[in-house]
Structure 1
Amino acid sequence: MFHLFNRKKEDLIVAPFDGEMFSITKVNDPVFAQKMMGDGIALKSTKDKLTVCAPATGQLEVLFNTGHAFGIALESGVKVLVHIGLDTVNAQGDGFKVLNKKQGDFVKALDPIVEVDLVKLSKDYDTTVMVVVTEAAGKQITFKKPMHVALGDSLIQ
């Protein structure tokens, strides 16, 4: 568990879309469920098409050309990974559309990053989205309890 003290707007981690937030330990993938990549939360959307936005402000440090995952480095040194679906790297980009962003760009929280066709992907993949703090930079970050979140709601206490 982590918690940001003296949290500034630049340190916020927010919901990248509307959905149901639940414990990452419930994800059907041991790498995420056992927090091997870091602590985080999981989100599910009920929509057919989904725009996944940046959950934080910072540098788009990683953006896979397949669109299945991206990472943001915040000014504070905290790093956040958004991974869209389980094993979706195997879709080789089919069902994903990267939106006018490239690796290295500066993004603001809620900037649209990837469009996802959940209907297409759900035929072969679990479409759970993980938001993981891969580097806490010495900060304590505590994720909120499971609940319904709207785009832009804080995911941390």
Structure 2
Amino acid sequence: MFHLFNKKKENVIVAPFDGEMFSITEVKDPVFAQKMMGDGVALKSTKDKITVCAPASGQLEVLFNTGHAFGIALDNGVKVLVHIGLDTVNAKGGGFKILNKKQGDNVKALEPIVEVDLAKLAKDYDTTVMVVVTDAAGKQITFKNPMTVALGDSLIQ
């Protein structure tokens, strides 16, 4: 089997924060659970506040002004979306703080992107975070099985 990612750090997809990783098919939203946007994993944190970091190096191709989602285009053509919570676009930015980043910026894996007040958001929203490959650029990407992850742990096999 041909492996997409070599051992160099710039071609991996890593955990954007510490948490529990589980199958995206268990997310309580059919768009993610049925992989309509692409394959990926879901993450949950037990902390009240987290900083969500870039899961890969590349260009910050999309950064919603609400802070609830961002997308990174890797140099190899792969595109990764990080979506923080379900229906959190409706929070209109409440509970999110974008950290000195703007759409079009180049980012390195583990660079902080958004601070999230999960305790505040949890009152009205599911705070599951999805990391989804929206464009695999023809490459084979296999996500690891559910496990506890620390910031920077690889999410792919």
- TM class, shorter-chain normalised? over 0.9
Q: CA deviation at 1:10?
A: 1.8
Deviations 1:92-131 (CA, angstroms, capped at 9, x unpaired): 0000000000000000000000000001000000000000
SS in 1 for 2:25: helix
Contact residue 4 and residue 142 of structure 1 kept, 8 A: no
Distance 2:7 2:36 in 1: 25
What is the aligned partner in structure 2 of residue 89 from structure 1? 89
Supply the AA of the counterpart residue of 1:111: E
1:58 paired with 2:58, answer yes
CA drift of 1:21 comes to: 0.1
CA distance in 1, matches of 2:5, 2:21: 23
Q: What aligned pairs does 1:37-48 form with structure 2 within 5 A after superposition? A: 37-48=37-48
User: How do 1:93-104 residues align onto structure 2 when only pairs under 5 Å count?
Assistant: 93-104=93-104
In 2: Cα distance, 1:4 partner to 1:86 partner: 30
Aligned residues: 156
How far the C-alpha of 1:35 sits from its partner, in A, is: 0.1
Q: In 2, Cα distance between the equivalents of 1:110 and 1:130? A: 16
Q: Which amino acid in structure 2 is aligned with residue 122 of structure 1?
A: A
Query: Does the 8 Å contact 2:52/2:113 carry over to 1?
Result: yes
Q: Is the 8 A contact 1:86 1:126 kept in 2?
A: yes
CA distance in 1, matches of 2:64, 2:154: 25
With the length of structure 2 as denominator, give the TM-score of the two structures. 0.97
Cα separation, 1, equivalents of 2:98 and 2:3: 31
Report the residue type matching 2:137 in the other structure: A
Q: Which SS does the other structure have where 1:148 is aligned? A: strand
**C-alpha displacement at 1:7, in angstroms?**
5.0
1:5 to partner: Cα distance: 5.1
Coordinate RMSD, CA, aligned? 1.2
Q: Distance in 2 between matches of 1:101 and 1:92?
A: 18
- Rounded to whole Å, the distance in 1 between the matches of 2:5 and 2:148 is 24
Partners of 2:74 and 2:16 lie apart in 1 by: 15
- Asked if the contact 1:50/1:118 (under 8 Å) is kept, the reply is yes
Percent identity for Structure 1 against Structure 2: 87
Q: Which runs of 5+ in 2 are unaligned?
A: none
CA separation of 1:3/1:86 partners in 2, compared to 1, >3 Å: closer, same or farther? farther
Q: How far off its partner does 1:26 sit?
A: 0.0
State the distance in 1 between where 2:6 and 2:62 align: 27
Aligned to 1:140: 140
What TM-score do the two structures reach when normalised by structure 1?
0.97
